[in-house]
Chains A and B, each alone.
Chain A
């Protein structure tokens, strides 16, 4: 067990090293000179040279990478090169909770809708409702999130006025209800796109599971249908769903840019996009690194959950 865990951690560290190298080289390889991007064109050459020296850009790339990595490991991701030159870490600490909250809330909402829908669909496979649900999820899948978000804004915000459009109440500033109120619509926008996929995948797996003998055996014991669905069928059917959910969560943290723009949320997506536009390479590097680390950790967690989902896999892992 200890050995297994050590191997696992070693694997994680290796993956993260590769990711960090990738992130760093990406920025180093990008065309354009950061000094020009920052100062603008038409300055005297000495000014550019001075700035490059100040930013450490005159050093060899690899030694810059090592420096960056060592500081990053100590929790220092450097300073933004764009005024007001704030600490990268500070900006991430303020943006990350927003994105995490929207992503997690969106996924929870997606699951709350997708699981019962998929169950109903699978239990009444081929029936009227199943076919309606299949058509509905297919339609949802083909709606891009900017459209879904715009429609929600039009219908719910402008139409009813129940929800605010473009403010954000931070979590932990005392007003939990206010925060949830503001987060609801963006999370729903995210959920709509994800839940269709979840429902379709889970429906397929459930249909396969429901044909198993152990489902018949559970029914033959007199278990009520709902109980058979939840306690016998759901867990063995949730492999693909859980995998998909892990990938979604990782992806959503960094790429809800559209939803963030629509609802004016100060999240990670807009942070990265703005930084990239301004040539703010320390900011991009830092943000992408944090997103990558989260992605890797989340999926490591998903891998661990397989052991819970199916006890037969517990021995198979080395």
Chain B
């Protein structure tokens, strides 16, 4: 096997705030092969969006930010190269689909220009060729009447259409890695599935590695090869998607899966929730970060932080828990998203 497309090693992203250092990403390692899909799941504030942006290099060392560890993307040290070197990666090697299509398109630029400007910059296409390619891209992401749409302004399109434009923008220069940061959170439920299906089919067709960041396990289920569950800036568990859903080994993963409402649960039954709230990242607890909310926690968990290790499971499966769960989740929730 050749070197992976993306290798993240012990990545830390720390924001210096007036109230102290905020460790948004606190020691994350992961790798991704070409064409592979990875879901990153976690609740709000778990650091998953910051992780995505740090991987891409949109967040890097600066006056208020400190990044340590390394990100190697297609052989390039993302945080080691000069800004110009990073910009060369953006659009062509790695691209991002943002959360809110209402705000991620420039209101004063026509839809077509959003696409043609990167085509002309990265691929050196002529004006006419770029326009043709832009219309082709819009057609590819399922926008009807692409030629007319290219001449419109973003506000003239619906939310779902705009997100398709954002996806076309990301695809414009054939990236090897697509990072989709909560791509459906701001959309209608009916549109969410269409967008996810589109992303999935495009990734397969273009043989593009994808990182799908979401707070919703249901979004990731059945759509990615692997899942990394994040909690408070760290990876709690990382394994094949089926394994995580079938036999979650971290109590947090288990609790997340249990809190997905199922179509088979009885009407008016109580939805399972996770008690408490995530730790304050300005002063994270010493031991396991989930200990305060974990139903299995013992004294050791509150003192000693568990390392992310295989702990007896199949290769490629790691968990950060002193007492990983072993029993498969034996109820209907395995059906989720299938």
Contacts and interface: CB of A to CB of B under 8 A. Distances in A.
Interface of A: 126-127, 212-214, 216-225, 231-232, 235-236, 309-312
B166 A217 contact: yes
A311 B169 contact: no
Nearest to B166: A217
24 contacts: A214-B106, A214-B107, A217-B104, A217-B105, A217-B106, A217-B169, A218-B106, A219-B58, A219-B90, A220-B56, A220-B90, A220-B95, A221-B91, A221-B118, A221-B169, A221-B172, A222-B87, A222-B88, A222-B118, A236-B106, A310-B107, A311-B108, A311-B155, A312-B153
A213 B87 contact: no
B272 interface: no
Nearest to B90: A222
Contacts, number: 74
Given A222-B118, A223-B121, A310-B108, A214 B90 contact: no
Given A217-B169, A220-B90, A220-B91, A236 B108 contact: yes
Interface residues of B, number: 32
Given A220-B90, A220-B96, A221-B91, A213 B108 contact: no
B251 to A, nearest CB: 35
Contact of B58 (A220, A232, A312): A220
A213 B100 contact: yes
B98 interface: yes
B102 to A, nearest CB: 9
A213 B103 contact: yes
B139 interface: no
Interface string B121-143: 11000000000000000000000
Interface string B68-106: 000000000000000110011111100110111001111
B135 to A, nearest CB: 18
B63 A126 contact: yes
Interface of B: 56, 58, 63, 83-84, 87-92, 95-96, 98-100, 103-109, 117-118, 121-122, 153, 155, 166, 169, 172
Given A222-B91, A222-B121, A312 B98 contact: no
A131 to B, nearest CB: 13
A225 B82 CA distance: 13
- A-B residue pairs, 10 tightest by C-beta: A222-B90, A222-B91, A213-B103, A213-B104, A214-B106, A221-B118, A217-B104, A311-B153, A222-B87, A221-B91
Contacts of B106: 214, 217-218, 232, 236
B154 to A, nearest CB: 9
B58 A216 contact: yes
Contacts of B100: 213
B101 to A, nearest CB: 9
Contacts of B108: 235-236, 309-311
A202 to B, nearest CB: 16
A311 B103 contact: no
Contacts of A212: 103
A214 B121 CA distance: 18
